[in-house]
Structure 1
Amino acid sequence: MAVTSQRTKIEKRSRTAPWLDHYPEGVPASLEYPQIPAWGFLERTAADYGDRVACHYYNQRMTYAELFAAARQMAHVLVKSGIKPGDRVGVLLPNTPEMLVALNGIWMAGGVVVAVSPLMVAGEVTALLKTTQCKTVIGLDMLLPLLFDGEYQPESVLLTTIADRLPLLQKWGYKAARIVRLGIRSKARDKRCRDLAKELAQGNPIFQPIQQHSLDDPAFILPTGGTTAAPKAVVLSHRNLVANAWQLHHWGGATMAEETVLAVVPFFHSYGLTTCAMTGTAMAATLVLQHRFVPRRVLRAIETARPSVFHAVPAMLCQLNKLMRDGKGDYTSINYCMSGGAPLPTSVAEEFTEHTGAIVVEGYGLSEASPVTHAGPLDGSARAGTIGMPLPDTEVRIVDADTGFRPVAPGEVGEITVRAPQVMVGYWNNPEATSSAIRDGWLYTGDLAVCDDQGFFRIVDRKKDLIITSGFNVYPSDVERVIKQFSGIQDAAVVGVSDPDRGEVVKAILVLERGVQFDRKEFLNQCKIHLAKHKQPRMIEIAEGDLPRNFLGKVLRKDLRT
Structure 2
Amino acid sequence: MTNLAELIDAAATRYPDRIAIVAGERRLPFREIRDRANSLADTLRRKGVQPGARVALSCPNVPEFTIAYWGILKAGAVVVPLNVTLRGREIAYHLEDSRSTAYIAHDAPTGRALVEAARDGFDRVESCSLFVSISDGPECGVTLVDHEPLSGDNGLPTLERGDEDTAVILYTSGTTGQPKGAELGHRNLRENALATRHVYGIDAALPDTYLCVLPLFHAFGQTCIQNGATAFGGTVVMLPRFDPSECLRLMIDERVTIFAGVPTMYWGLLGALDDATGVRQLEGSLRVAAAGGAALPAEVHRQFAQRFGVQILEGYGLSETSPTATSSVLGEPLRLGSIGRPIPGVEMKLINDDWSDVPDTPGAVGEIAIKGHNVMKGYHNRPEATAAAIRDGWFRSGDLGKKDADGFYYIVGRVKDLIIRGGFNVYPRELEEVLMTHPAVSLVAVIGTPHETLGEEIKAVAIKNDGFDDVTEADLVEWGKKQFASYKYPRVVEFVDKFPTTPTGKILKRELR
- TM-score, with structure 1 as normaliser: 0.84
Structure 1 position 208 matched with structure 2 position 161 = no
- 1:331 aligns with 282
Instruction: Give the distance between the partners of 2:349 and 2:139, measured in 1 at CA.
Output: 48
Pick closer, same or farther for the CA change 1:165–1:342 going to 2, 3 Å. Answer: farther
How much has 1:327 moved relative to structure 2? 6.6
Indicate conservation of the 8 Å contact 2:358/2:365, yes or no: no
Amino acid at match of 1:451: K
Residue aligning to 1:533:
486
- 2:179 equivalent to 1:231: yes
* Structure 1 residues 108 and 122: alpha-carbon distance in aligned structure 2, compared to 1, 3 A threshold: same
SS in 1 for 2:100: coil
The answer for the alignment partner of 1:240 in structure 2 is 188
2:421 alignment partner in structure 1: 469
For 1:120-135, list aligned pairs within 5 A.
120-135=86-101
CA deviations over 1:318-372 (Å, ceiling 9, x no partner): 2222333357312221111111112222332333334443342111110000001
Return closer, same or farther for 1:335/1:548 CA change in 2, 3 Å cut-off.
Answer: same
Q: Structure 2 residue aligned with 1:405, among 350, 356, 359?
A: 356
Q: Deviations over 1:87-113 (max 9, x none)?
A: 111111112111111011101111110
Match of 1:86 in 2: 52
Question: Following TM superposition, by how much is the alpha carbon of 1:230 offset from its aligned partner in structure 2, in angstroms?
Answer: 4.4
CA displacement 1:173-197 (0-9 Å, x = unmatched): xxxxxxxxxxxxxxxxxxxxx9517
Q: Deviations over 1:103-133 (max 9, x none)?
A: 1110111111011111223222111011112
User: Among 381, 387, 411, which residue is 1:429 paired with?
Assistant: 381
What residue number does 2:412 align with?
460
Distance 1:166 1:532 in 2: 63
Q: Provide the secondary structure at the position in 2 that maps to 1:507.
A: strand
2-side partners of 1:220 and 1:530: how far apart? 46
Deviation at 1:520, TM superposition (A): 4.5
Q: State the 1:449 CA deviation.
A: 0.8
- 1:158 counterpart letter in structure 2: V
| 3-state SS of paired residue (1:266) | coil
> Per the alignment, in what secondary structure is the counterpart of residue 334 of structure 2?
coil
1:559 equivalent to 2:511? Answer: yes
Give the drift of 1:38.
0.9
| Aligned match for 2:249, one of 300, 310, 335 | 300
User: Distance between the aligned counterparts of 1:255 and 1:512, measured in 2?
Assistant: 42
In 2 relative to 1, CA 73–467 (structure 1 residues): closer, same or farther, beyond 3 Å? same
Q: Name the SS of the counterpart of 1:296 in structure 2.
A: helix
Aligned pair in 2 of structure 1 residues 163, 60: CA closer, same or farther (>3 Å)?
A: same
- 1:218 maps to which of 166, 169, 182: 166
Q: Output the amino acid matched with 2:17.
A: D
Runs of 5+ unmatched residues, structure 2: none
- Distance of 1:138 and 1:294 partners within structure 2: 26
Are the aligned partners of 2:338 and 2:409 in contact in 1 as well (CA < 8 Å)? yes
Residue of 4, 7, 14 corresponding to 1:48: 14
Name stretches of at least 5 consecutive residues in structure 1 with no aligned partner.
Answer: 1-34, 168-193
Aligned equivalents of 2:17, 2:148: Cα separation in 1: 25
Matches within 5 A, 1:9-24: none
**Paired letter, 2:201:** G
Alpha-carbon deviation of 1:397? 0.5
Q: Spell out, residue by residue over 1:300-319, the C-alpha distance to the aligned partner (whole angstroms, 9 max, x if none).
A: 21122112111112222222
**Which residue in the other structure is 1:490 paired with?**
442
Cα offset for 1:517? 4.7
State the AA in 1 paired with 2:416: K
Q: Distance in 2 between matches of 1:315 and 1:203?
A: 42
Distance in 2, Cα, partners of 1:337 & 1:486? 25
Q: Name the residue aligned to 1:159.
A: 133
SS in 2 for 1:534: coil
Between the aligned partners of 2:275 and 2:13, the Cα distance in structure 1 is: 44
- Partner of residue 179, structure 1: none
Structure 2 residue corresponding to 1:522, chosen from 472, 475, 478: 475
1:367 aligns with 2:298: no
Please list the CA deviations of residues 130-169 of structure 1 after superposition, one character each: whole Å capped at 9, or x if unmatched. 11122322222231122233433754332234584999xx
Alignment of 1:26-37 (within 5 A): 35-37=1-3
CA distance in 1, matches of 2:151, 2:389: 44
- 1:303 maps to amino acid: I
State the aligned residue count: 498
Distance 2:356 2:178 in 1: 24
Q: Secondary structure at the match of 1:459?
A: strand
2-side partners of 1:133 and 1:197: how far apart?
Answer: 22
Whole-angstrom CA distance in 2 between matches of 1:262 and 1:274? 13
Amino acid at match of 1:130: E
In the TM superposition, residue 264 of structure 1 has moved relative to its aligned partner by 1.7
Distance in 2, matches of 1:242 and 1:271, equals 14
Distance across 2 between alignment mates of 1:267 and 1:455: 31
In 2, the alpha carbon distance for the partners of 1:103 and 1:336 equals: 26
The alpha-carbon deviation at position 436 of structure 1 amounts to: 0.7
How does the TM-score come out when normalised to structure 2?
0.91
Cα shift readout 1:21-42 (whole Å, capped 9, x = no counterpart) = xxxxxxxxxxxxxx32110111
Structure 2 partner of 1:69: 35
Following the alignment from structure 1 to structure 2, what is the Cα–Cα distance between the partners of residues 233 and 313?
A: 22
Deviations along 1:509-558, one digit per CA (max 9) or x if unpaired, are: 33345672553443332121111111122344444x31212123222122
Name the SS of the counterpart of 2:487 in structure 1: helix
Q: Are 1:550 and 2:483 counterparts?
A: no
SS at match of 2:224: helix
From the superposition, tell whether residues 502 and 356 of structure 1 become closer, same or farther in structure 2 (CA, over 3 Å): closer
Give the whole-Å Cα distance in 2 for the aligned partners of 1:323 and 1:245: 31
**Post-superposition shift, 1:559?**
1.7
Whole-Å separation in 1 of the counterparts to 2:156 and 2:499: 49
Question: Alignment partner of 1:293: what SS?
Answer: coil
What is the letter of the counterpart of residue 60 of structure 1? R
What is the Cα-based RMSD across aligned positions, in Å?
A: 2.3
How far apart are 1:282 and its partner, in Å? 0.6
Query: Matched residue of 1:315: which SS?
Result: helix
Query: How far, CA to CA, are the matches of 2:233 and 2:327 in structure 1?
Result: 21
Contact residue 202 and residue 208 of structure 2 kept, 8 A: no
Match for residue 276 of structure 1? 225
CA contact (8 A) 1:158 1:195 kept: no
- Summarize deviations over 1:476-530 as a string: whole Å, max 9, x none: 1222222333343333322222333222222233334567255344333212111
For 2:271, the equivalent position in structure 1 comes to: 322
Could you tell me which amino acid in structure 2 is paired with residue 532 of structure 1?
Answer: A
For the residue of structure 1 that corresponds to 2:168, the secondary structure is strand
1:216-269 deviation digits (Å, cap 9, x = unpaired): 111111211468554211111111100111112233335212221112211100
Equivalent residue number for residue 191 of structure 1? none
SS of structure 1 residue aligned to 2:157: coil
- Which residue of structure 1 lines up, in the alignment, with residue 201 of structure 2? 253
